[in-house]
Structure 1
Amino acid sequence: VGLASVLRLHWRSLSGAGVYCALLSGCRNTWMIALPLTAHSIGLSKVGIGLTVAAGRAIEACVTLLAAGQIMDKYGRKAAGLPANIMMAGAFGLLALTKASGFLTLVLAVMLWGVANGLCGGIIVSFATDLTPESCRSEFLGLWKTVQAVGGLVLPPFFGVVS
């Protein structure tokens, strides 16, 4: 089975959930650029920036381990993804206010992002697993990863231009 036929047969999955996951990947990559730059702009040291990133990752890991899978399995992918995306938007909003508001706003943004990213932790793999047809698994997953990688590559510079 060729890539063109897989794309023709499964374009809905790739353009729906695939684009959602590409946007999510792009937002995650943008956050990993924006957070250290914002922390540096308010005067945090390298150690302070590292601790801030680590604290956000710790919150994310706890939420992923304790809640994300259970919520997705019990209530569905959208029940985890939609609130997570709303919280991510809030975290980006708080991050934008950090320069004027200071360190506490940065901490709140990092905590909110950690919960949000943890809540949708594993959602990209879950969507891929749910949507992959058995007859053309490797081709579909190759296209899936390509769509996701394009989002992760294109969105950070786009968000930089927009902001």
Structure 2
Amino acid sequence: MVEEFRLRSVAAAAYGPAALFGLSEGAVLPVIALSAIDRGASTSTAALIAALLGVGSLAANIPAGMLATRIGERRSMLVAAAVMVAGLLVCLVDLGHGPWSLLLYGCGVVLIGAAAAVYGLARQTYLTEIVPLHMRARALSTLGGSMRIGVFLGPFAGAAAMQFAGLPGAYYVSLAAIFAAGALVLRVPDLEVTADERAAASAVTTRGMLKQRWRVYATLGAGVLLLSAIRQTRQTVVPLWAAHIGLSPTTSSIIYGVAGAVDALTFYPAGKVMDRYGRRWVAVPATLVLGVSFLLMPLAAGAGLLTVAAMVMGFGNGIGSGIVMTLGADVSPSVGRPTHIGIWNELADIGTGVGPLILSAVTALAGLGAGIVASGVVGFAAAAALWRWIPRPHHAAPS
């Protein structure tokens, strides 16, 4: 009966739209910097514009919690789809070379990042509410896996479209995927929330939530920040080290794709382990494996060992699928949950910004190998923090 509920109710409500939303993101992620360069941006400016995705997400996390509280999770997902469409259409407007064209394009990228934040919070809150507690980790890890599968397939779909339509082809694929995601969300039933419950949730403010639960954010939240930092850095180190040892871009892309496949295929068993034995049994090994993979990478002098290190990295990240969402749900209050999750996601996004900065700073001071090792140490620090601060027992969620 449990499996029937998960497949028939949760899949239609969250997994299909999540995979399509991931495909929509994945189709455009590889071409953001290229599109900026096509509009006259330098390499550094293109990198800055690509970073605006994170800026949009950081800016939208807290408002996303407020939005979900006021209009509900289902409508928030529809708003996110509409914002995503708006961002993609703005990105498709090409004013030629020049600062105004880049400014307009940057605004579109910010909208895409903001849409991802709103959609992510809404689907996470929705699943947390409707899935039984004993299945929470499986549900959320599968949600994370569905998104990753979409992100993994998106670049291939975008590349196919670009053979016929050039760079805009990737955006057309993204638009088609987000329209399909919105159509599925339209069929999702609303959560049953009474007027009194809605009023009580609306009375919860971000400041009040921070004051009430600051210890959770300063302890377990710090572990999640560190985990997010090493996760984000892993997307950079493989192509950087591949270039450092003289591998071609094609070889680098193949290695990256192999790691992505391992990542996308290992999410569900981790959820079962978390539900059965506790969150520590996945969170800590995932961060330790990520840390070890970073230590292996500077030892790679050729494609073979680099592929092994990248696969280990993909495995560590894959088994941790959904862990940030699961921990955030575990420590969420019953009243004001969207507000809490907005703060939680903000901590994770801060980590995604900090991780590459650590790599960049240490690399500038001591070289790329030292920067990768320092990033691996972040993984070990995350493992220690998660081991110390994940609540015992794992299903005990403070009210």
**TM-score normalised per structure 1:** 0.91
* 1:94 aligned to which of 296, 310, 318: 296
The amino acid across from 2:245 in the alignment is I
The amino acid across from 1:45 in the alignment is S
Task: Count the aligned residue pairs.
Answer: 160
2:278 alignment counterpart: 76
2:13 alignment counterpart: none
d(CA) in 1 for partners of 2:286 and 2:345?
21
d(CA) in 2 for partners of 1:6 and 1:142?
10
d(CA) in 2 for partners of 1:33 and 1:154?
13
d(CA) in 1 for partners of 2:302 and 2:292?
16
d(CA) in 2 for partners of 1:109 and 1:47?
18
Q: Within 5 A, what are the aligned runs for 1:103-142? A: 103-142=303-342
Match of 2:336, SS?
helix
Deviation at 1:7, TM superposition (A): 0.6
The amino acid across from 1:106 in the alignment is L
* 2:238 aligned to which of 13, 23, 35: 35
Deviation at 1:152, TM superposition (A): 0.9
Spell out, residue by residue over 1:36-70, the C-alpha distance to the aligned partner (whole angstroms, 9 max, x if none): 111122222222111111111111111113x1111
d(CA) in 2 for partners of 1:55 and 1:80?
22
* 1:24 aligned to which of 212, 215, 227: 227
Deviation at 1:6, TM superposition (A): 0.5
Q: Which runs of 4+ in 1 moved over 4 A?
A: none
d(CA) in 2 for partners of 1:34 and 1:111?
13
Match of 1:31, SS?
helix
d(CA) in 2 for partners of 1:159 and 1:12?
28
In the alignment, structure 2 segments of 5+ residues that lack a partner are 1-203, 363-370, 372-399
Spell out, residue by residue over 1:131-153, the C-alpha distance to the aligned partner (whole angstroms, 9 max, x if none): 11121112211111111111111
Structure having the higher helix fraction is 1
1:150 alignment counterpart: 350
Match of 1:135, SS?
coil
2:48 alignment counterpart: none
> Cα RMSD over matched residues?
1.3
2:261 alignment counterpart: 58
**TM-score normalised per structure 2:** 0.39
d(CA) in 1 for partners of 2:264 and 2:273?
15
2:41 alignment counterpart: none
Deviation at 1:26, TM superposition (A): 1.0
d(CA) in 2 for partners of 1:81 and 1:139?
24
The amino acid across from 2:242 in the alignment is A
d(CA) in 1 for partners of 2:277 and 2:350?
29
Match of 1:81, SS?
helix
d(CA) in 2 for partners of 1:124 and 1:30?
16
Query: Which structure has the higher relative contact order (CA within 8 Å, separation 6+)?
Result: 1
The amino acid across from 1:150 in the alignment is I
d(CA) in 2 for partners of 1:41 and 1:155?
20
Deviation at 1:102, TM superposition (A): 2.3
* 2:218 aligned to which of 7, 12, 15: 15
Greater Cα radius of gyration, structure 1 or 2: 2
Spell out, residue by residue over 1:68-109, the C-alpha distance to the aligned partner (whole angstroms, 9 max, x if none): 1111111111100111111111100011222xx322220111
Match of 1:134, SS?
coil
